[in-house]
Amino acid sequence: MLHFINMIKPISGGGQDIGTTIFNTNPQMASSLGKAPFAYGYSYSWATWIYYSNLFPDYPCQIPYIKLSLNQLNTSPFNMVGQKIFMSHTPLQNWQNTSVNVSHVGSTFITDRVEVKSFNIVYDDSQEGAWVEFYFDTPFIYNGVDSICIDWENRNGGFEYGGPRFNVSIVPYSVRYKRDDSNYPTGNCNLDDERPSIAIHFETI
């Protein structure tokens, strides 16, 4: 399903809940070895993907956290270090009309790129079939106009084939990614349609 849940209530930190936009249309488990949010079957990877703005608030607000839908975890616990999440604005709805031969930080179609979270995490069995919350170190300020682009950098330096496999929705040309076993990948990347199922939470500034 794809919908915006509207609600207003006080929260700690001085803001107010605006609502949560959920992108979870016909969810299915990510393909083997993973692409986005990260390639669990590779030592290093990055992915960047787009959520179109038609269901977002049409005024500036902040995003303090997101949730990703974890389908299964075959190995528990699964520890991942060197993880980073970035958010940015883009006027695009997808990557269809852009070259994939560019790194995620080099695109002229991405603006206001901000590192919102740098972290290590342990995934465990209790999270299977649930929404895993990622609270940001720095809330992202959404401009009320553009689509949102999320980048995930995985610098774990190792992998296990039983790592976390998230739910995704099939959205053509929505994901760019690259993965490698030896070094953190740069340069030419790949295009894919398995966009992570997500809940994006909005608050007043």
Poorest-pLDDT segment among 18-22, 83-87, 140-144, 168-172: 18-22
pLDDT at 79: 86
- What confidence tens digit (pLDDT) does each residue in 65-77 have? 999 999 887 777 8
pLDDT at 18: 82
Its pTM stands at 0.88
Mean pLDDT for the chain overall: 83
**What is the distance, to the nearest Å, from the Cα of residue 55 to the centroid of all Cα atoms in its chain?**
17
Strand ranges (DSSP E) for 7-128? Answer: 17-23, 28-29, 44-51, 61-72, 78-90, 111-123
Q: Which residue has the higher pLDDT, 147 or 7?
A: 147
Q: What are phi and psi of 51, to 5 degrees?
A: -120, 120
pLDDT at 100: 57
Nearest to 102 by CA among 150, 146, 46: 46
pLDDT at 8: 34
